[in-house]
Amino acid sequence: MEYTVQKLGKIAGISTRTLRYYDEIGILKPARINSSGYRIYGQSEVDRLQQILFYRELGVSLNEIKDIVTVPSFDKHKALQEHREKLLEKRKQLDLLIANVDKTIALAEGRVKMTDTEKFEGFKQKMIDDNERKYGIEAREKYGDQAFNKSIQKIKGMSEEQYEESVRLGNEVIETLHTAFKTGNPAGDLAQKAADLHRQWLSFFWDSYTKEAHAGIAQMYVDDDRFTAFYDKNQPGAAKFLRDAILIYTGMKHGDSPA
């Protein structure tokens, strides 16, 4: 069966503008253009759109999706199996959060007792699952299973205060980094403050700290596109700037001498 842009958008639940944008960036081209100038989509395009929407639901960027679905070796069946596994993981996270909300409601109604640690179990488990899904393979290869598992246990053991402080510090790292970036000097006071805040933030997740490991993860922020995209989201170049600041902070790179 074939669909116009309007019909495909309607059955997929997305706008015609989105479909036209997908065409523009080359992630989903129509099968043909009819004599009236309308985009026409066939079964192959419908299947690809389904894959694109699956990946979007999992938080994958359009650039990454394009790299995945446009390669000749793309295996639709294998991709569907992977989607299913990821969605099951997501359902597990949601079930845990729902159970946490239910228990909190019961607590407010005086029906159960709930420790402060229990209140944050759902959020902490989501943090663990997200880290495993996004960076688990690379982190295990770089630091080993033992170090990665210790990090997981440390997150699980966070108190309410520690969890809130880790979130606050993470936000402060980004805010300070963006302000420091405007100075253009990774050796400056603001940039070095960002590097120190980053070290403090890491302490919530690492079993132990070393300057070498700190410098190593800073380099990963530049080498791995996913980390780069996170730090460069609102300030392009921020990931490299943070890397340079941390290398100076850890003594792995000398800063410019003050004028």
Structure tokens, 110:
């005086």
Please, what sign has the CA dihedral across residues 3, 11, 25, 62? negative
- Structural domains in the chain, sorted by start: 3-69 (1.10.1660.10), 75-158 (no CATH), 159-259 (1.10.490.50)
Q: Which of 33, 32, 64 is nearest to 51 (CA)?
A: 64
**DSSP 8-state assignment for residue 188:** S
Only one residue has tokens 């600041």, namely: 245
Q: Which of 124, 59, 115, 58 is nearest to 96 (CA)?
A: 124
Q: Does the structure show a pLDDT above 90 at 200?
A: yes
Q: Does the structure show a pLDDT above 50 at 194?
A: yes
36, 43, 93, 146 from 79: Cα distances, Å: 35, 17, 21, 30
Only one residue has tokens 């036209």, namely: 20
User: Mapping DSSP to helix (H, G, I), strand (E, B) and coil, where does residue 13 land?
Assistant: coil
Only one residue has tokens 């800063």, namely: 255
Report the 10 Å Cβ neighbour count for 147.
15
Least confident of 4-13, 127-136, 198-207: 127-136
Q: Which of 230, 225, 220 is nearest to 67 (CA)?
A: 225
* DSSP-assigned beta bridge partners for residue 4: 40
| pTM given for the model | 0.46
Which tens digits make up the pLDDT trace of 90-100? 777 777 667 66
Per the CB < 8 A criterion, the answer to whether 231 and 177 are in contact is yes
State the Cα–Cα distance between residues 237 and 242, nearest whole angstrom: 9
Per the CB < 8 A criterion, the answer to whether 58 and 86 are in contact is yes
Mean residue pLDDT of the chain comes to 81
